[in-house]
Structure 1
């Protein structure tokens, strides 16, 4: 079944790779360049999952997590952090802010798709 997924990353190439993997599996993808851009796209549309980078300009992934948890419509939307950050401290911070899963870049598309299946 097709899911609607928001992909947030300041790297166009990462958005492209993630988007291709997700679209290839039949999902609908919406892209945002950072947390602020993503918040503008959370306009009431239903997203089954959000894939979010940690290190981004304007608003980083952890700040975005905290902001989205304040929005009743998106409070329970699962968030998968896709990042180069592999440190336990960052993971703990992400989990505390509401991240459901953590995938470290570079990633294999099938690992991403397995995570999507588990979270949606």
Structure 2
């Protein structure tokens, strides 16, 4: 892992507690700090309190799904360049297209291995023009 990424904060957003726990374990083992949210609304609240290097979000969630969360973040000037990885059990092309059009950095299908998740996370965070945005005021 890139030493410069150790200690970076990653926000994991998924309505499934087991998925949040698994992704959190993957990330913590790699040296990341992890924040968690159950849906897009909780994710926005988290981002209002803490800055993050990237967001890993599920597509389908109650209250605010991953597409709506991505659109909200991309409309905010502070978070326009925040890397967003979208995970879903649905690998259909229309979901992938919707995610990419909303501004998702990379679209991944569950189940995902720790190796692939970390490879894609490091790639999008490294190519991001911002390091740690300020929380939304």
**Deviation at residue 32 of structure 1 after TM alignment:** 0.4
Q: Which residue is equivalent to 1:27?
A: 32
1:98 partnered with 2:126: no
Alignment of 1:7-86 (within 5 A): 7-43=12-48, 45-86=50-91
Provide TM-score, normalisation by structure 2. Answer: 0.84
Deviation at 1:53, TM superposition (A): 0.2
Cα distance in 1 for residues equivalent to 2:50 and 2:115: 27
Equivalent residues of 1:11, 1:33 under 8 A apart? yes
1:108 corresponds in structure 2 to 113
Runs of at least 5 residues in structure 2 that lack an aligned partner in the other structure:
126-137
Partner SS for 2:61:
coil
Contact 1:4 1:48 (8 Å CA) reproduced? yes
Q: Structure 1: any 5+ residue segments left out of the alignment?
A: none
| CA deviation string 1:93-118 (max 9, x = no partner) | 10000001011001111110111111
Cα distance between partner residues in 1 of 2:105 and 2:90: 15
May I ask how many residue pairs the two structures share in their alignment? 120
Contact residue 44 and residue 73 of structure 1 kept, 8 A: no
CA distance in 1, matches of 2:56, 2:103: 13
